[in-house]
A and B are shown apart, each in its own frame.
Chain A
Amino acid sequence: MNLTKLRDRVQPGEARVLLRNPVVLSLLVLLALFVSGNLVAPGFASYGSFVNTLRIAAFLGVIAAGQTIVILGGGEGIDLSVGKIATFSTVVVAQVSQGQDERLLLALLTALAYCGLIGLANGVGVAYLRIPPLVMTLGMVGVVTGIIRVYSGGQPEGRAPALLSQMVNATALGGVRGSVWIWLIVAAFTIWLLRRTTFGRRVYALGANREAAFLSGINVQRNLVLLYVASSLYAALGGVMLLGFAGAASINLADQYQLISIAAVVIGGTTLAGGVGGYLGTAVGAVVLQTMRNLLIVLDIPAAGRQVVNGVILIVLLSLYGRQRRLRQ
């Protein structure tokens, strides 16, 4: 055996290494938010409030899982249509199920199929037509908006089947809602997918060095398409969960998740260039964002201010995590 440890390698202090871990950083930020929130409004950091935060963060957490995969794949990969796709999913499920439990399964499959097709279109546009992902998915937002209008005739009908509402809203084991348990399953699956499957390896390879991935025998285009299909499926699932929570669909129920899904991914330590990061960070990032939102509401900042803060925070995050190299000579 010739595996020798590099003795002359400098070992950084344990603490410093930990601090560089984005997940740990996010957890610290979360702690800070709770503490400061509690100072402003006592009760902010209570168990009940925390559990409720998790309940709402679950939807973002699921949608952002797909976003994580797309961004990990590199090449300026991003999916701006996740919000709209989730909305579309709520409309489809509501309409197909008509509120009846027996039709829930059919409705779910239909939503997944339709949304998967949208993801396929995104993927084909990015991988084969070389349309920049941001432009492609942004354009898709418009298309899906139109599809929603046509599909629902402007007035989405139907309600969430009782079974779905139950699954999402029922509490179990310490007041934790169904949406959180679903999120937990999705999280476990996603982490396993990224770490223990050939697909996961390919995602990281594509993001780390697309050319090397190509030269390793990976079919770059086919895998790129899969990224966007995955993202749309996660968005669809997130939409279904949202429907269970809201009870009825509306024409823009999940649109807001477009930007914050990206923020969650970036906070979680996945670089926008791809190849580095993972879902665990995103999940923590989702909780951080939801807590931040709660804090802003508690601080009574008007909608306008919240918009600005959203944008500024994203810019700051990008500056820390997402900078490009300087022009070399």
Chain B
Amino acid sequence: MSAPERSSTSTLLDDARTWLLQGRLPVTTAIVLLLATLVVNLVVADNFLTAFNIRSIFANVIPLAAVAVGQTVIVLGRGIDLSLGVIATLSSVVTVSVVETRGLTAALLTGLATGAACGLVNGLLVAVVRLQPIVATFATSFVWSGLALYVLPPGTAAAPRMPDVVVQGYRGAFLGIPNAAWLLALIGASWLVLKRTRLLRHVYAVGGDEHAAFATGVRVGRVQVMTYVVGGTYAAFASFAMLANSGSADALAGGGLTLASIAALVIGGTRLSGGAGGAGGTIIGVLVLQLLTSVLVALRPPTDVRQLIDGLLVILALALAGLWAGRRRGR
């Protein structure tokens, strides 16, 4: 249990300033970054404001947004799930395998169940078996990816596909706004609803100070398990978006989403050690990452350099978060 190291003579202004510097990028930074990348895009890319481009950006962003929101919930509770991207992959192959035989609704439900079940396993490993979240989910990622390979081996002839209506719907628009943008708003709305639940209040408590929460009577183990189940469910939603975007599933894809989701939530102001932040900032972070990618595409550097820059960006985001956290500890 820690009390901040401050003298009792500081003013309320100092208090506010200290709070803002508490170990994470403030949401304002994310907003500034978003505006900056928007401007750069407008300048650099000629076809940025076309309907096609805007629709593409939203369509591509949904999977990452969903995974990142799920990851945010887990990280808020002081956990982490390195298998979220792969859970999305597994969920996608399961969903697409079921859709042709049992219809869309059954497929979607099966996909959701898959995501939740994977999350449950992760949660139990962390809360009951007491493994470190990082290593436990890293290990399970191999199990999920193996299962995905089993369900839909790559190179399968006549691989199942999603119904055309889904794919077209995803790429379509409603009231002039791309459907994918509506979906993004839906994800945001789901977060706002989630945030008002008692579960999430307890997630913030557990992430803030596990021992204090326990001493106060919060069911820490149960809360932790639930965060992973929620995360897995969001990963399932991501898989639906992936399926709707491309029409089919790829058992080998999805791994990159995990690291990007962590970068997005860090940029969005969620503290890696839990207890502070939120998915609102994460969604901004996701948009920032997406816009950065499109800047890179527009600048047309050699593909080799692009990957390097991608990697460096992630490290940079982590380093910034680390620097802020270091300042809070007064070093």
Query: What is the bound-complex CA distance between A169 and B276, given in angstroms?
Result: 55
Please name all residues of chain B whose beta carbon is closer than 8 Å to the beta carbon of A314 when the two chains form the complex. 139, 142
**Which B-chain residue is minimally distant from A154 (CB atoms)?**
B304
**Which B-chain residue is minimally distant from A152 (CB atoms)?**
B304
Is A253 an interface position by the 8 A CB rule? no
Is B146 an interface position by the 8 A CB rule? yes
Is A139 an interface position by the 8 A CB rule? yes
Is B106 an interface position by the 8 A CB rule? no
Contact with B along A121-151 (1 / 0, CB 8 A): 0000100111110111011111111110110
**Which B-chain residue is minimally distant from A121 (CB atoms)?**
B315
Given contacts A146-B304, A322-B131, contact A125 B315 (CB under 8 A): yes
**Which A-chain residue is minimally distant from B309 (CB atoms)?**
A146
Is A310 an interface position by the 8 A CB rule? yes
Interface residue from A132, A312, A318, A325 paired with B136 (Cβ < 8 Å): A318
Query: What is the bound-complex CA distance between A154 and B140, given in angstroms?
Result: 31
Is B250 an interface position by the 8 A CB rule? no
Given contacts A125-B322, A129-B326, A259-B142, contact A150 B308 (CB under 8 A): yes
Please name all residues of chain B whose beta carbon is closer than 8 Å to the beta carbon of A312 when the two chains form the complex. 143
Main secondary structure, interface of A, reads helix
Is B262 an interface position by the 8 A CB rule? yes
Please name all residues of chain B whose beta carbon is closer than 8 Å to the beta carbon of A141 when the two chains form the complex. 311
- How many A residues face the partner with a CB closer than 8 A? 52
A329 CB to closest chain B CB, in angstroms? 7
Query: What is the bound-complex CA distance between A78 and B80, given in angstroms?
Result: 15
Query: What is the bound-complex CA distance between A312 and B141, given in angstroms?
Result: 10
CB <8 Å contact, A311 and B140: yes
CB <8 Å contact, A146 and B312: yes
Contact with B along A183-197 (1 / 0, CB 8 A): 000000000000000
Query: What is the bound-complex CA distance between A191 and B200, given in angstroms?
Result: 48
- In A281-329, which residues have CB < 8 Å from any B CB? 302-312, 314-315, 318-319, 322-329
Is B272 an interface position by the 8 A CB rule? yes
Is B149 an interface position by the 8 A CB rule? yes
Is A13 an interface position by the 8 A CB rule? no
Please name all residues of chain B whose beta carbon is closer than 8 Å to the beta carbon of A136 when the two chains form the complex. 315, 318
A292 CB to closest chain B CB, in angstroms? 14
CB <8 Å contact, A146 and B134: no
Interface core residue of B142, B144, B215 (most chain A CB under 10 Å)? B142
Please name all residues of chain B whose beta carbon is closer than 8 Å to the beta carbon of A319 when the two chains form the complex. 129, 131
Query: What is the bound-complex CA distance between A325 and B129, given in angstroms?
Result: 10
Please name all residues of chain B whose beta carbon is closer than 8 Å to the beta carbon of A131 when the two chains form the complex. 318-319, 321-322
Query: What is the bound-complex CA distance between A310 and B142, given in angstroms?
Result: 7
- In B126-154, which residues have CB < 8 Å from any A CB? 129-132, 134-136, 138-147, 149-150, 153
Given contacts A129-B323, A139-B318, A327-B214, contact A311 B143 (CB under 8 A): yes
Which 3 A-B residue pairs are closest in the complex by CB-CB distance? A146-B308, A307-B146, A142-B311
Q: Which B residues are closer than 8 A to A by beta carbons?
A: 80, 82, 125, 129-132, 134-136, 138-147, 149-150, 153, 210-211, 214-215, 220, 259, 262, 272, 303-312, 314-315, 318-319, 321-323, 325-326, 329
